[in-house]
C-alpha cells in the first residue's frame, strides 16, 4: 500500500514516514502544496495524509484542486487545527477523515487501514497475497497457520504471535514495543524485556529454516532470509 505524506515539518515528516514504513506501508513524502499536487497527479497513491498548513498552497486548496481534476484517492487530514469549524471545512473540501495533532501512531495506522478498507484497496492486496513465503516457512494470513516445509511448526502461542508479526512485515523492522503489545496483550504485569526471552526461543527454532531473526539496536527486530 502506497501513501503520500504531505507534511512541511521535516522532523514530523521523517518521524511519521519511518513509523508507517515500519508498519509495512510504502511512504512518499513532500513538504509543500504544489509538490503534493504534482506528485499526486503523476503517481496516484492508495491514500493521502495531508497537513493543512503548507507553504506554497494551503492543504485545503490542494484538496479542492485535486478533487476538481478528478483525483479521488482517500484523504486523511492531519493538522493542529482542531476546531469543529476546521474539520467541517476539510470534510466539505473532500477529505475522508480527520485526525487532529497530537495523535497516537497506532490510531493513525488504524485510520489509514480503515480508509483503505472502505475503498477496497487493502482487501484487494490481501486477496492477491493471502500466503507469505519466507525461507522454508509459509504463513497463511487468513488462517494464521505457520508451516515449515509444509508441516505446522511447533510453536508456543507467544512464539507464534511474534513470528506472525515479523512475517506480516517482510523486510521491515518491527519495534519492540509493538511486539510486546502483540505477544503479551493485556498482560500488564509482564515487563517489556520479556519479548527478548520469546525472541531467544524463537531464534533457536528458526535454525535451518533459511531465516535469521536479527536484533536492530534502536529499531526492533527483523526477519531476514539467509543468502542462497
Give dist(CA 76, CA 119) in Å, integer.
13
For residue range 31-77, what is the model confidence (pLDDT) as tens digits?
A: 999 999 999 988 889 999 999 889 998 888 899 888 888 888 999 99
Domain boundary among 125, 156, 172: 125
Tell me, yes or no, whether 13 and 104 share the same domain.
yes
Domain boundary among 99, 125, 151: 125
Domain of residue 208 covers 130-225
Tell me, yes or no, whether 81 and 171 share the same domain.
no
Tell me, yes or no, whether 44 and 121 share the same domain.
yes
Residue 104 burial (C-beta neighbours within 10 Å; 0-12, 13-18, 19+): exposed
Domain boundary among 125, 143, 178: 125
Q: What is the mean pLDDT of residues 105-111?
A: 84
3-state secondary structure of 103: coil
Position with higher pLDDT, 53 vs 141: 53
Tell me, yes or no, whether 179 and 214 share the same domain.
yes
pTM, full prediction: 0.53
pLDDT score of 127: 43
pLDDT score of 125: 44
Tell me, yes or no, whether 116 and 142 share the same domain.
no
Tell me, yes or no, whether 160 and 217 share the same domain.
yes
Give dist(CA 227, CA 27) in Å, integer.
27
Give dist(CA 144, CA 161) in Å, integer.
9
Residues 6+ apart with CB under 8 A from 127: none
Give dist(CA 52, CA 55) in Å, integer.
10
pLDDT score of 113: 84
Position with higher pLDDT, 83 vs 148: 148
* Residue 152: φ, ψ to 5°: -55, 135
CATH code for the domain of 106:
3.40.50.2300
For residue range 1-40, what is the model confidence (pLDDT) as tens digits?
A: 789 999 999 999 999 999 888 888 889 999 999 999 999 9
Tell me, yes or no, whether 30 and 82 share the same domain.
yes
Q: How many separate domains does the chain show?
A: 2
Tell me, yes or no, whether 19 and 108 share the same domain.
yes
CATH code for the domain of 219:
1.10.10.10
Amino acid at each position: 500500500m502506497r501513501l503520500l505524506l504531505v507534511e512541511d515539518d521535516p522532523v514530523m515528516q521523517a518521524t511519521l514516514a519511518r513509523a508507517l514504513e515500519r508498519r509495512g506501508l510504502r511512504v512518499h513524502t513532500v513538504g509543500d502544496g504544489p509538490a503534493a499536487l504534482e506528485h499526486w497527479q503523476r503517481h496516484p497513491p492508495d491514500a493521502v495524509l495531508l497537513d493543512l498548513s503548507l507553504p506554497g498552497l494551503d492543504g485545503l486548496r490542494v484538496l479542492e484542486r485535486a478533487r476538481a481534476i478528478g483525483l479521488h484517492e482517500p484523504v486523511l487530514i492531519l493538522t493542529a487545527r482542531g476546531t469543529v469549524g476546521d474539520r467541517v471545512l476539510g470534510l466539505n473540501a473532500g477529505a475522508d477523515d480527520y485526525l487532529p495533532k497530537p495523535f497516537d501512531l497506532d490510531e493513525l495506522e488504524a485510520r489509514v487501514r480503515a480508509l483503505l478498507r472502505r475503498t477496497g484497496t487493502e482487501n484487494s492486496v490481501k486477496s492477491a497475497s493471502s500466503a507469505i513465503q519466507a525461507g522454508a516457512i509459509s504463513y497463511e494470513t487468513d488462517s494464521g497457520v505457520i508451516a515449515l516445509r509444509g508441516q505446522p511448526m511447533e510453536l508456543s502461542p507467544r512464539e507464534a504471535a511474534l513470528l506472525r508479526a515479523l512475517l506480516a512485515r517482510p523486510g521491515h523492522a518491527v519495534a519492540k514495543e509493538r511486539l510486546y503489545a502483540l505477544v503479551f496483550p493485556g498482560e500488564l504485569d509482564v515487563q517489556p524485556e520479556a519479548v527478548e526471552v520469546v525472541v531467544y526461543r524463537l531464534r533457536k527454532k528458526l535454525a535451518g529454516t533459511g531465516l535469521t531473526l536479527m536484533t536492530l539496536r534502536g529499531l526492533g527486530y527483523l526477519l531476514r532470509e539467509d543468502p542462497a
